[in-house]
A = this chain, B = another copy of it.
Amino acid sequence: MARKAGSHAEITGPKVREAALRLFAQYGFAAVSMRQIAREVGVQAGALYTYTTDKQALLFDLMHDHMGDVLAGIAAMPDGSPGERLEWIVRYHIGYNLTHKDGVFINYMELRNLEPENRKVISALRRRYEDAVEAVLVDGQEKGVFQIPDTRLATMAVIAMLNGVNTWYREGGRLSQDRVERIYWNMVRRAVKGA
């Protein structure tokens, strides 16, 4: 116990990632120093480079893993009618975002701090998520249960609307998460149905 130096690979690795995720989300990638991350973890700055080749790779790995998680989640969408699947997406998106605030925040704030090749990778993953949402809208449109003038715009509109929840929702606030999900589903449902 309490030794100052030793081998802690299984513990330190995840701690570095957790600290970086939290600090990047709070202050922004450019504003956070490697020394600051190290202090949070409880090691010296040099020790971080056992776990990441450099600061850029640390950011990219966090964003990449986040998108993998998001995509695995939406791939598990149950079968059902277009309406049922769209409601599932609304709830999944809000629920996931509220339980992974830091990852969500970084993934849409720090794209510009990725080097071009890394940015391409993350953008492509994000695009896959958008396509999964749009596929449900297209299906509903073809089946005649949705009336959507432009499924691409509707996709972007729905995602932006749902992302907005993270900017104001506070646990223990005026509305429960379930109530928020219901209200948003109500608005989305009406927006994609005929007038």
Contacts and interface: CB of A to CB of B under 8 A. Distances in A.
A83 interface: no
Which of A109, A150, A187 has the most CB atoms of chain B within a 10 A radius of its CB? A187
A116 interface: no
B157 A31 contact: no
Nearest to A153: B183
Interface stretch (A8-16, A70-78, A161-169): A161-169
Give the number of copies in the complex: 2
A186 B195 CA distance: 9
A112 B26 contact: yes
A47 interface: no
A187 B192 CA distance: 7
A112 B106 CA distance: 13
Nearest to A163: B160
Report the interface size class on chain A: 35 or more
Nearest to A28: B30
Contact of A28 (B28, B160, B164): B28
* Chain B CB within 10 Å, residue with most, of A29, A183, A191, A195: A191
A43 interface: no
Interface string A151-195: 001101101110111011000000100001001101111111101
Contact of A159 (B26, B164, B165, B175): B164
A80 interface: no
A113 interface: yes
Interface in A119-171: 149-150, 153-154, 156-157, 159-161, 163-165, 167-168
B164 A150 contact: no
A167 B157 contact: no
Contacts of A161: 157, 160-161, 164
Contacts of A31: 30, 113
Given A31-B30, A150-B175, A195-B193, A157 B113 contact: no
